[in-house]
Amino acid sequence: MSTDFPFYIAGRAERGAESLTVTSPFDGAVAGTYTVPTADQVDRAVQAAADVLVESRALSAASRAAALDHISARLAERVDEVAELITAENGKPIMWAWAEANRAVSTFRWAAEEARRFSGELMRLDTDAAAAGRMAVIRRFARGPVLGISPFNFPLNLAAHKVAPAIACGAPIILKPAPKTPLSALLLGQILAETDLPEGSWSVLPVADETSAELVTDPRLPVISFTGSEHVGGIIAAAVPGKHVTLELGGNAAALVMADWASDADLDFAASRIATFGNYQAGQSCISVQRVLVDEAIYHRFVPILAAKVADLATGDPSDPATVVGPMINEAAAERVQRWVGEAVAGGGSVLVGGDRSGSQYPPTLLADVPEDANCYAEEVFGPVMTVGKFSGVAAGLAEVNNSRFGLQAGIFTHDLQVAFRAHAELDVGGVVVGDIPSFRADQMPYGGVKNSGDGREGLASAMKDYTDVKVMVLVGIDL
């Protein structure tokens, strides 16, 4: 595999003047090199997207689906290579990189299926006598070219969640990957270039954040799909009030362990799942478990099991298939987490497991008695740190989950169907997972949050709605 990656302007490989190197967060090994597009190249990409809109909208379902099927198949053929690149640039343990690469295969496959059924609907209008003989044909058309901004934590699959729905609904797309991890998106560009999609219908631009700001305000890109931090998302939304902006932002995911989840097998299962998915991706997932809330009836049984599971997680070299928790994206991120843990302890919290940073590696850490105003409890840690606390009864547990300005997903461990439906109705989150951690996501389902976790939804069909507008055609004089 070549480690020197071109970028893509209107579907064609090009190079810029400035060359940059991407290194591993684990050991500094070179993952690859790439060049940065010039201002002229960026402008050509955007103009090409604007110019191809009519042609892109008119692509047949067969053409869109064929391109998406090809991308899915080629990712499947190259899955080991793709996973190794994700690990090399992101530091993600190879076990999770394989999972991400295979998820991207499915994301493009789902998009191909959605492209084939992207048909619209009929609505008879003669439900009122005045509209006798009238039928509405309701279809969706791409609003315009999309600016898709993807983050570092899932450098391939979250790029896929920008590109795949755009192709499926006929929207040209400019993909802007995270500067820390652009290589996986550039590899995706290699595969996109093998398709017969029209020139201009896609570009991959590994530009600096300053250029991103210019792309955000460019009137030729009326749709923005952003996944990233709450802070940056807020800046984007404020900068372009006239654009259609979808934001998948931060989280502070809670796992709620109810009193009825009380057998030894139940507690062991919940502890295993929470320990793993509070620390997978080094906690750098917006739905990784951060707050563990346990009914007081089982708290003293559950916490020692959870602590033991957290302590047993294998850390170290992300290229080792046995490693579960690798490094954070860089040492600065690990230092921030270290500061936040220190502040939590100074405020009265206690470290049950972990807490000792080594370079960019922060160990899986479990805290108890953390004040509610501490960053580790109230903010998105985005690191391998969980807090554990107790509550008494269903109402108190649900209220504590809602005691957050974030609302992405929540997990609730219960066997009680009534409690499950109550949680679904009362929790202020975009998704509730019953019987498992909040970190579960199927790539075809609607995914997104409420409150400060953003708006809009990812998931292929949902994103296609965000990328498109409804148009109604009324047919008159039809014998219904």
**Annotated catalytic residue, options 230, 286, 376, 380:** 286
**Annotated catalytic residue, options 84, 114, 230, 248:** 248
Q: Are 350 and 369 in contact (CB under 8 A)?
A: yes
Nearest to 411 by CA among 322, 240, 323, 287: 287
Q: Tokens 């400019």 sit at which residue?
A: 174
Distance from the first to the final alpha carbon of the chain: 61
Query: What is the token pair recorded at 466?
Result: 């965000």
Among this protein's residues, is 376 annotated catalytic? no
Buried b (16+ CB within 10 A) or exposed e, 133-149: ebbeeeebbbbbbbbbb
* Spatial distance between the Cα atoms of 80 and 30, rounded to a whole number of angstroms: 18
Q: Which residues contact 241 (CB under 8 A, 6 or more apart)?
A: none
Among this protein's residues, is 248 annotated catalytic? yes
Q: Which residues contact 337 (CB under 8 A, 6 or more apart)?
A: 328, 357, 362, 381, 382, 383, 384, 385
DSSP-based helix, strand, coil % in the chain, nearest 5: 40, 25, 35
CA distances from 191 to 7, 34, 69, 94 (A): 12, 17, 11, 22
Buried b (16+ CB within 10 A) or exposed e, 257-281: bbbbbeeeebbeebbebbbbbbbbb
* Spatial distance between the Cα atoms of 452 and 457, rounded to a whole number of angstroms: 14
* Spatial distance between the Cα atoms of 186 and 143, rounded to a whole number of angstroms: 26
Query: What is the token pair recorded at 448?
Result: 């997104």
- The catalytic site residues sit at 248, 286
